[in-house]
């Protein structure tokens, strides 16, 4: 997808949505209708330290399991500047791990612990789509709605409990990596 398509949509050309994959067009339309600022650089919601502590305590077993699995997974993957992110059931980031550089880039857009990363919080993104679809999702650079996220490619997967309720989302994001799902 090209920068021009995004720019045309942001400038009010809704007909351009026909040229997008359906899930991206639907999400961009949702963001537009809910007045998500495409130029935002900070999520609409950031948890207080107390809220984050409470959510981390609630999900501590899952966080420990994900930490262990990510440590093993990192050795198998050949990703450029990966950032592993675990959110709660509504998209609040509880934990993240990655290279110093990827964390630094992520800090610049508040892609960090305590930040709400839902569709309405930051625009179209893999975490937000998983929260909506309850299935695996991926986005390339140009599919993100907000300019701050358009330097990231992301893949995310839902995590369900024994009763098949969504309890978390695991996301792997890479900075300045234009790889698509077909690559």
- What are the chain's domains? 3-175 (3.30.450.40)
The two tokens of residue 153 are 């490619």
Asked if residue 164 lies in contact with residue 24, where contact means CB atoms within 8 angstroms, the answer is no
pLDDT band at 182 (very low <50, low <70, confident <90, very high): very low
CA distance 108 to 85: 16
DSSP assignment, residue 15? G
Strand partners, 155: 138, 172
Mean of all residue pLDDT scores within the chain: 92
pLDDT band at 127 (very low <50, low <70, confident <90, very high): very high
Tens of pLDDT, residues 45-71:
999 999 999 999 999 999 999 999 998
Asked if residue 159 lies in contact with residue 87, where contact means CB atoms within 8 angstroms, the answer is no
Q: How far is CA 87 from the centre of its chain?
A: 9
DSSP assignment, residue 11? T
Task: Show the 3-state SS of 79-141.
Answer: CCCEEEEEECCCCEEEEEEECHHHHHHHHCCCCCCCEECCHHHHCCCHHHHHHHHCCCEEECH
CA distance 76 to 57: 29
Tens of pLDDT, residues 23-46:
999 999 999 999 999 998 889 999
Asked if residue 154 lies in contact with residue 146, where contact means CB atoms within 8 angstroms, the answer is no
CA distance 35 to 81: 31
DSSP run (H or E) holding 48: none
pTM: 0.91
């Amino acid at each position: 997808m090209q920068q021009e398509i995004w720019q045309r949509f942001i400038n009010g050309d809704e007909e351009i949505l026909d040229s997008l994959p359906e899930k991206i067009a639907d999400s961009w339309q949702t963001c537009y209708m809910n007045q998500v600022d495409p130029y935002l650089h900070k999520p609409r919601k950031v948890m207080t330290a107390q809220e984050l502590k409470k959510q981390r305590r609630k999900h501590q077993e899952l966080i420990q399991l994900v930490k262990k699995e990510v440590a093993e997974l990192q050795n198998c993957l050949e990703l450029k500047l990966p950032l592993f992110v675990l959110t709660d059931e509504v998209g609040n980031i509880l934990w993240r791990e990655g290279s110093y550089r990827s964390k630094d880039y992520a800090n610049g857009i508040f892609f960090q612990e305590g930040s709400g990363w839902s569709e309405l919080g930051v625009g179209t993104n893999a975490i937000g789509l998983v929260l909506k679809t309850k299935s695996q999702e991926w986005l390339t650079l140009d599919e993100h709605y907000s300019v701050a996220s358009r330097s990231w490619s992301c893949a995310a997967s839902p995590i369900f409990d024994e009763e098949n309720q969504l309890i978390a989302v695991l996301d792997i994001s890479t900075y300045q990596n234009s790889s698509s799902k077909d690559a």
